[in-house]
Amino acid sequence: MRVTQGAFSFLPDLTDQQIHTQVQYCIDNDWAVSLEYTDDPHPRNTYWEMWGHPMFDNPDAAAVVYELNECRKIHGGKYIRIMAFDSTAGWESVRLSFIANRPKTEKGFRLSREEIRGRSVRYSITPYSTDLPEGERY
């Protein structure tokens, strides 16, 4: 099941050239671009691992694509996303976030139903990947 989080997730995967173009747009807007990766794609998992520091002072997107490829060498089987943080007063938040790398096979989510009082049902989802301990998931 394809994980659809962040921008462009309903499109085919972006090529490096397209990523470069997107990142350059962010840099030209003075947003700080950073890389994060995870092996737990639950939508409520906001705590992805950081890959290095946010890149504040690179005027060219080639640096981000370079780091992305470095990250792929080690975490190529996981989800990697690119985030662009806008620090201008009033925004102070992530302006763009998109997945730049995903595992070859995405295991998807288990839907569990729990019957609670009054026979109403409570739903929750769990990524199949998190059945395995960290480090063995993808």
Partner 1 sequence: MCSEEVLGEEQEIVEEVDLAKDFKESGVGEILDELDTSLTGLEPVKTRIRETAALLIVDKARRKLGLVNEPLTLHMSFSGNPGTGKTTLALKMADLLHKLGFVRKGHLVSVTRDDLVGQYIGHTAPKTKEVLKKAMGGVLFIDEAYYLYRPENERDYGQEAIEILLQVMENNRDDLVVILAGYKDKMAKFFESNPGFRSRIAHHIEFPDYTSDELLEIAQKTLKEQHYKLTPQAIVALSDYIRLRRDQAHFANARSIRNALDRARLRHANRIFNESIGLLNADQLSTIDDVDILSSRVFKGGIDNF
Residue numbers at the binding site for partner 1 (CB under 8 A): 17, 20-21, 24-25, 55, 57-63, 66-67
Q: How far is the CB of 59 from partner 1 (least distance, A)?
A: 5
Distance separating alpha carbons of residues 29 and 57, to the nearest angstrom: 12
Nearer to partner 1, 45 or 58 (CB): 58
The structure tokens listed for 57 are 């002072």
Q: Tell me phi and psi for residue 38, to 5 degrees.
A: -155, 160
Contact yes or no for 105/1 (Cβ under 8 A): no
Shortest spacing between CB 75 and partner 1, in angstroms: 17
**Whose Cβ is closer to partner 1: residue 24's or residue 130's?**
24
* Distance in Å, CB of 86 to partner 1, minimum: 20
Query: How far apart are CB 65 and partner 1 at their closest, in Å?
Result: 9
Minimum CB–partner distance for residue 125 and partner 1 (Å): 38
Determine the Cα–Cα distance for residues 101 and 117; give it in Å rounded to an integer: 42
Decide whether 1 or 62 has the Cβ nearer to partner 1: 62
Residues 6+ positions from 21 with CB-CB distance below 8 Å? 61
The β-bridge relationship of strands 93-101 and 49-55 is unpaired
Cross-strand pairs, 110: 126
| 59/90 with CB nearer partner 1 | 59
Name which of 65 and 80 has its Cβ closer to partner 1: 65
